[in-house]
Amino acid sequence: MPGFTTTIVHSDRRSGIEHGSLHKPIHTSVAYGYEDVQDLADVFQGRSSAYSYGRQVNPTVTALETKINAMERGVATVCFGTGMAAIGMVLFALLRKGNHFVSSSFLFGNTNSLFQTFGLHGIDVTFVDATSAAAVAEAIRPDTRLVFVETIANPRTQVADLEGIGELCRAKGLVYVVDNTMTSPYLFQPVQVGASLIVNSLTKYIGGHGTTLGGALTETGRFDWSVFDNIQDTYKKGDPAKWAITQVRKKGLRDFGPTLGPQAALHLGIGAETLALRQERQCANAQALVAYLAGHDKVARVYYPGLPEHPEHARATKLFRHPGALFSFELADGVDAFAFLNRLDVAIKSSNLGDNRTLAIPVAETIYYEMGPERRASMGIADSLIRISTGIEDIDDLLADFEQALAEE
Ligand SMILES: *Cc1c(COP(=O)(O)O)cnc(C)c1O
């Protein structure tokens, strides 16, 4: 089998594009016409998988779905306008009022907010410390249907017990959803720990250039949907491994409409081709900056799974190709965090992650501000925590930048 990057770079060419074009073109048509009306009826009745209407399917987006699916070794992938839409639509399409799910409490801030909103609609969540599968097991109730975790949590870099939770979900017949955004399929493929469904925000490492929003949901084929009570009869056709993703495409994408546009799909697909190259460099830069900061007397603590003293260091080393390109740290008492951040010149003060540029942000005052001090404390987020997402800059420039920003008082 060809390697990760070879597969992605050559995936469009294999689909036989007109004029021998090497990239899938941007298809802008919203609707598709048929000579024989029977062919159109077959599409609507699920007998043929051709194109009908752009809200649920588009050839340029299909090409991206094929790429993401190959990256994650899935059986089917659906793309969305954002990563948040992918997460929201999984719950919207697959859970019902009265269902309960268990989630890691170390969670992307907007996902945390979204899960609380689902609670208002009768789908209850229990947040647990997912670095321990036992904590997840304790939260399971008779009405529990699903478990949701991230791989490496942002911003404190806790690593979920991905294998233990996978075994638990298999034993209990629970849907296991893994948000793989922070690792990306280059560093880790959740299918290997028994994930049922994989979420990726394409906005981050996969798209990589910080120009385009997108999300994806991949079905791994590991869950037996024939025993899941929330699949509608009309989607129980063909291979049961694809029933859930079909329902998500119909209920989530077609009915709700958080569709990825074809222009965005092209940009994300081009970005995806260099994922491995960029992440190699970003992870190496993170390792080098962490090593520098961990030994600096104006730095109190550094959180990065690549550090031997990180509580889940062994787990991260076993599961991930590299320990990621995101870390966070606390400055020593008396060092003014805002003044330090303002002295950074190469690193940009910005909220995104996974860009080619190194980005820095004070967490409690910005992305985790709305959730308040109590929830922040439960997530291990100190008021002085600074998050860094490393880019692809030359490491000497990054080291010099942090050095001068820490030198002044
Ligand atoms: C950014 C992010 C999301 C949301 O993705 P968007 O594309 O910004 O909507 C979800 N999960 C994680 C872990 C993220 O970092």
| Contact (CB, 8 A) for 228 and 175 | yes
Question: What's the burial of 37, exposed, middle or buried (CB within 10 Å: 0-12/13-18/19+)?
Answer: exposed
For position 112, what pLDDT does the model report?
Answer: 92
Residues 6+ apart with CB under 8 A from 209: 267, 271, 355, 356
Atom of ligand 1 nearest to the CA of 202: 7
* Mutation choice for ligand 1 from 104, 105, 110, CB with most ligand atoms inside 8 A: 110
| 136 token code pair | 């997840």
* Mutation choice for ligand 1 from 79, 84, 184, 387, CB with most ligand atoms inside 8 A: 84
Q: Is the CB of 182 under 6 A from ligand 1?
A: yes
d(CA 177, CA 197): 5
d(CA 157, CA 329): 11
| Contact (CB, 8 A) for 100 and 125 | yes
Q: Is the CB of 161 under 6 A from ligand 1?
A: no
Tens of pLDDT along the chain (409 residues) come to 899 999 999 988 777 788 888 889 999 999 999 999 999 999 888 888 889 999 999 999 999 999 999 999 999 999 999 999 999 999 999 999 999 999 999 999 899 999 999 999 999 999 999 999 999 999 999 999 999 999 999 999 999 999 999 999 999 999 999 999 999 999 999 999 999 999 999 999 999 999 999 999 999 999 999 999 999 999 998 899 999 999 999 999 999 999 999 999 999 999 999 999 999 999 999 999 999 999 999 999 999 999 999 999 999 999 999 999 999 999 999 999 999 999 999 999 999 999 999 999 999 999 888 888 998 888 888 888 999 999 999 999 999 999 999 997 6
Atom of ligand 1 nearest to the CA of 107: 13
For position 371, what pLDDT does the model report?
Answer: 82
Atom of ligand 1 nearest to the CA of 182: 13
Buried b (16+ CB within 10 A) or exposed e, 125-163: bbbbbbbebebbbebbeeebbbbbbbbbbbbbbbbbbbe
Q: Separation of 111 CA from ligand 1 center, angstroms?
A: 8
For position 62, what pLDDT does the model report?
Answer: 96
Please give the angle made by the CA atoms of 139, 142 and 144, to the nearest 5 degrees.
60
Q: Separation of 152 CA from ligand 1 center, angstroms?
A: 13
Three-state SS at 301: strand
DSSP secondary structure string for all residues of 321-332: SS--SEEEEEEP
DSSP state of 250: I
Q: Is the CB of 324 under 6 A from ligand 1?
A: no
| Contact (CB, 8 A) for 325 and 390 | yes
For position 409, what pLDDT does the model report?
Answer: 65
- Report CA dihedral (107, 110, 114, 116) to the nearest 10 degrees: 60
Q: Is the CB of 157 under 6 A from ligand 1?
A: no
Start-to-end CA span in the chain (Å): 55
Residues 6+ apart with CB under 8 A from 132: 161, 164
Ligand 1: which residue has its CA nearest to atom 7? 83
Q: Is the CB of 84 under 6 A from ligand 1?
A: yes
* Mutation choice for ligand 1 from 87, 199, 204, 259, CB with most ligand atoms inside 8 A: 204
For position 397, what pLDDT does the model report?
Answer: 98
* Mutation choice for ligand 1 from 181, 197, 351, CB with most ligand atoms inside 8 A: 181
| Contact (CB, 8 A) for 224 and 244 | no
Ligand 1: which residue has its CA nearest to atom 2? 201
Buried b (16+ CB within 10 A) or exposed e, 43-80: beeeeeeebbebebbbbbbbbbbbbbbbbbbbbbbbbb
Three-state SS at 389: strand
Question: What's the burial of 117, exposed, middle or buried (CB within 10 Å: 0-12/13-18/19+)?
Answer: exposed
Ligand 1: which residue has its CA nearest to atom 5? 83
Q: Separation of 176 CA from ligand 1 center, angstroms?
A: 18
Please state the pTM of the whole predicted model. 0.96
d(CA 271, CA 207): 4
d(CA 194, CA 211): 32
